[in-house]
Structure 1
Amino acid sequence: MHIGIALPTAVRHADPRVIPRWATAAEQAGFATLGSTGRYAYPAVSDTVALAAAAAVTSRIELLSHIMIAPSWPAALLAKEVAGIDAVSGGRLTLGIGLGTRADDFVVPGLGLRGRGKRLDADLRTYRSVWRGKPVAGGENPAVPDGTRHIPLLFGASSEAALQRAAREGEGFIGPSVPAPMAGPSFDAARAAWSAAGRTSPPRLVALAYFGFGDAERSRATVHDFYASHTLTAGLAETIAGGVAVGTAEIRQTVAAYQDMGVDDLIFLPSADDLDALTQLADCVLQGSAT
């Protein structure tokens, strides 16, 4: 199982200047993947901006959005944006996408919550057309340069229709950021969807887990703040916040739980923008020497 760390893009008012330093430190520490969580209606750096900054200051670590709310974007624009990030990184971006659930994240006129599933199906065709270098809007020019690749797609999904889309269109599945014991059924559902779709290769399974060191209540309050919304299922913010792994023992228990589930990747999401937390996590899960 590969272990990664997310950029602090889900931390309220995180210092934007920490993003490139965080990315550099994550690569130097030996994390396999550098992730980013994105919302529009939250006071933090956009996931596209954060990933672009990370692409510019790293050379080896995989970049992953987990997840980007794809239907809130005009499809052709997002396809060009992520193609540029991937190109700057030298082909290290994996695009994790999902439908989104909060109305305030959908600010582009005509691109609201309603109909976003069908819209995403059309968007996926647009992404691939853009990445193939097809001319834009009936003109002569493509949106991307020669050599642009088809970016690998992972999906965050919970409904049956979304799981079917993931198995039809993607290379893997990103699990929910709930406590590990609650996440297991979602990975089983992804495996079943892949099998039902006749996929010969298993899905890449990516788990997400929040972590912190020191003040447990502060860590959990930060995570709760990101998820608190009337559009979410009642109690979900409390569930996610209550599952934050705080301290060495809980973090290592989380690693063991996901190893037992057979996931391919575990991405730890920070509850603070403090670089010391990144170093402590590396010591804990990569070298095993944290105290």
Structure 2
Amino acid sequence: MKIGIGIPNQIRNVRADVIPEWARRAEAAGFSSLGSVGRVAYPGVMDTVALAAAAGATSRIGLISNVLLGPVWPALMLAKEAQSIDGVSGGRLTLGVGLGGRSDDFVVEGLGPRGTGKRLDQDIETFKSVWRGETPDGCDNPLVPEGSREVPLLFGGMVQASYDRVARSGRGYIGASLPASMVTGAFDGVRAAWKDAGRDGSPYLVAIAYYAVADVEGGRANVYDYYSTAGAEIAGLISSAASGGADAIRKTVGEFEALGADELILNPTGDDLDEIERVAEIVL
């Protein structure tokens, strides 16, 4: 199982200028990927911007949006944005996409929080058309440079429609920020949908887990704050599941490895740059 690390782009009032250095240090430490967290209505850094900054600061490490809220974007704009990040990174982006569960993130007029599943399925076709270099209706030119590749897609969500979307259109799946025992059913559902669709090989399964080494309580408070609009029960569940300290982090890694995850992204709970080396000493 590969071990990646998140970018702290959605920590409240994050010091945005740490993101390029965070990316450089993560690559130097040997992590497999840098992951971003996607939300609009929160005082952080937009995930596409964080990934672009990380792309410019690095040359080898993978880039994953886990997850970007697809339906909050106009499809043509997101297709171009994703390909642009993939292009400047030298083909290192994997676009992880989810529907979004908070109504305040839908800030673009005409793109509301209803019908997001159907809209995303339509958007996926638009993405792929743009990446093939086709010229959209009403445009005089293609939106991306000739020779652009189709950006690999991962999908989140814990319902059958999400698993079917992976099997139909994706390279794999991103689990929710929950304990391994609560992600098992989703991984099994994706594997079954993949097999039923007659896909060759197996889906790429990515897990996410929050961690803190130096300031466990402060980190959990940050996670709680981020999820607080979902209600105290959900915010409490996710924040309490954050792995605090070396033993808990190793236990989490072992649980997701046993689950069959191909990659685990350890999401930071603060923007302290030294947390990169602290967790690297534990897991790499």
Cα-Cα RMSD: 1.1
Once the 2 structures are TM-superposed, how far is the Cα of residue 182 of structure 1 from its aligned partner? 1.7
**Structure 2: runs of 5+ lacking an equivalent:** none
- Of 112-121 and 69-78, more deviation after overlay is shown by 112-121
* DSSP 3-state at the match of 1:96: strand
**Structure 1: runs of 5+ lacking an equivalent:** 287-291
C-alpha separation between the residues in 2 aligned to 1:28 and 1:259?
A: 23
C-alpha distance after superposition, 1:235-274 (max 9, x if no partner): 1111110100011000000111111111100000000100
Percent identical among aligned pairs is: 53
Partner of 2:192: 192
Match of 1:261 among 259, 262, 265: 259
Partner of 1:246: 244
- Of 111-120 and 196-205, more deviation after overlay is shown by 196-205
Partner of 2:211: 211
Partner of 2:107: 107
Partner of 2:67: 67
Letter in 2 for 1:251: I
Q: Is the 8 A contact 1:5 1:267 kept in 2?
A: yes
Q: Is the 8 A contact 1:174 1:207 kept in 2?
A: yes
* DSSP 3-state at the match of 1:228: helix
Matched, 1:42 2:42: yes
Letter in 1 for 2:19: I
Letter in 2 for 1:118: K
Q: Is the 8 A contact 1:179 1:239 kept in 2?
A: no
Once the 2 structures are TM-superposed, how far is the Cα of residue 158 of structure 1 from its aligned partner? 1.1
- Of 43-52 and 154-163, more deviation after overlay is shown by 154-163
Partner of 2:172: 172
Partner of 1:289: none
C-alpha separation between the residues in 2 aligned to 1:282 and 1:151?
A: 28
C-alpha separation between the residues in 2 aligned to 1:19 and 1:255?
A: 24
Q: Is the 8 A contact 1:72 1:107 kept in 2?
A: yes
Between the two proteins, the alignment pairs up a number of residues equal to 284
Partner of 1:125: 125
Matched, 1:201 2:208: no
Once the 2 structures are TM-superposed, how far is the Cα of residue 10 of structure 1 from its aligned partner? 2.2
TM-score normalised by length of structure 1: 0.95
C-alpha distance after superposition, 1:96-138 (max 9, x if no partner): 0010100000011110111111111110111111111111333
Letter in 2 for 1:253: K
TM-score normalised by length of structure 2: 0.97
- Of 184-193 and 78-87, more deviation after overlay is shown by 184-193
* DSSP 3-state at the match of 2:16: coil
C-alpha separation between the residues in 2 aligned to 1:193 and 1:97?
A: 18
